[in-house]
């Protein structure tokens, strides 16, 4: 739901509706529910853009599966950046990534595709966040750190400068992550 707020605030795209896990009737935050995951193929006939807004707590499987589906169908997956976020003009952000309110992405940071950089997260200079990652609220990815694809970084977690995760890693909320020796 917070993704809806960011899309509305950015004011670049009009939300046509929501796709739920399973087909439901009704509305969500005044937007029609267009169908379930099984309807994505049919929805491509009517829509050009899609954004995966499923969070990632236990693992990235659902986000990756949905991203692969919309990508294979030829949807355009925009980068969404809250007007309350700061993204350096020297940073790089991949398709289908959303940068939430008050996040800060510094110079030469690289954020891959299909990632969530949540509210108040800090991605420092020269850090890399690969595809399909979720950087939670107020997490700090220090300079030169590499967050491998599919990794979840919990709220208020901090990586040491230059630290590297493994693919599909899970860094707990509040953890100070020093990398692997």
What's the pLDDT tens digit per position in 128-157?
999 999 999 999 999 999 999 999 999 999
- Count of the separate structural domains present in the chain: 1
Tell whether 100 is covered by a domain. Answer: no
Residues in a beta bridge with 141: 123, 159
At 116-132, the pLDDT tens digits run 999 999 999 999 999 99
Tell whether 105 is covered by a domain. Answer: no
Residues in a beta bridge with 123: 105, 141
Of 47, 50, 46, the closest CA to residue 79 belongs to 50
At 168-177, the pLDDT tens digits run 999 999 999 9
Tell whether 124 is covered by a domain. Answer: no
Tell whether 60 is covered by a domain. Answer: yes
The whole-number pLDDT of residue 49 equals 97
Residues 4, 19 contacting (CB under 8 angstroms): no
Tell whether 6 is covered by a domain. Answer: yes
Tell whether 48 is covered by a domain. Answer: yes
Query: If you write DSSP's letter for every residue of 104-164 in order, what string do you get?
Result: EE-TT-EE-SS-EE-TT-EE-TT-EE-TT-EE-TT-EE-TT-EE-TT-EE-TT-EEPTT-B
Q: Which two tokens stand for residue 45?
A: 């006939």
Domain that holds residue 16: 2-72
Q: What is the pTM of this model?
A: 0.95
CA atoms within 13 A on the CB side of 122: 13
Q: What is the mean pLDDT of residues 96-114?
A: 98
Tell whether 77 is covered by a domain. Answer: no
Tally of CB atoms within 10 A around 4: 15
Higher pLDDT, 3 or 57: 3
Q: Which two tokens stand for residue 24?
A: 């439901």
DSSP state, 49? B
Tell whether 51 is covered by a domain. Answer: yes
Reduced to 3 states (helix: H, G, I; strand: E, B; else coil), residue 10 is helix
The whole-number pLDDT of residue 181 equals 65
Across all residues in the chain, what is the average pLDDT?
A: 95
- Strands of the sheet containing 122-123, edge to edge, are 86-87, 104-105, 122-123, 140-141, 158-159, 176-177
Q: Output the CA–CA distances (angstroms, integers) from residue 162 to 72, 91, 130, 178, in the order listed.
A: 34, 17, 14, 9
């Amino acid at each position: 739901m917070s993704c809806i707020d960011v899309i509305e605030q950015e004011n670049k795209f009009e939300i046509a509706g929501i796709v739920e896990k399973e087909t439901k009737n009704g509305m969500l935050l005044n937007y029609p529910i267009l169908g379930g995951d099984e309807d994505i193929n049919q929805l491509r006939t009517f829509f050009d853009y899609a954004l995966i807004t499923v969070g990632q707590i236990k693992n990235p499987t659902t986000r990756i599966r949905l991203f692969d589906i919309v990508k294979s169908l030829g949807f355009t997956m925009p980068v969404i950046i809250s007007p309350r976020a700061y993204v350096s003009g020297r940073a790089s952000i991949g398709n289908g990534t959303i940068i939430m309110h008050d996040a800060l992405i510094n110079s030469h940071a690289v954020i891959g595709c299909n990632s969530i950089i949540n509210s108040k997260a800090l991605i420092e200079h020269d850090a890399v966040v690969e595809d399909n990652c979720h950087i939670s609220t107020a997490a700090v990815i220090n300079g030169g750190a590499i967050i491998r694809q599919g990794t979840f970084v919990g709220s208020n977690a901090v990586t040491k400068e230059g630290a590297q995760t493994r693919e599909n890693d899970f860094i707990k909320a509040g953890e100070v992550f020093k990398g692997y020796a």
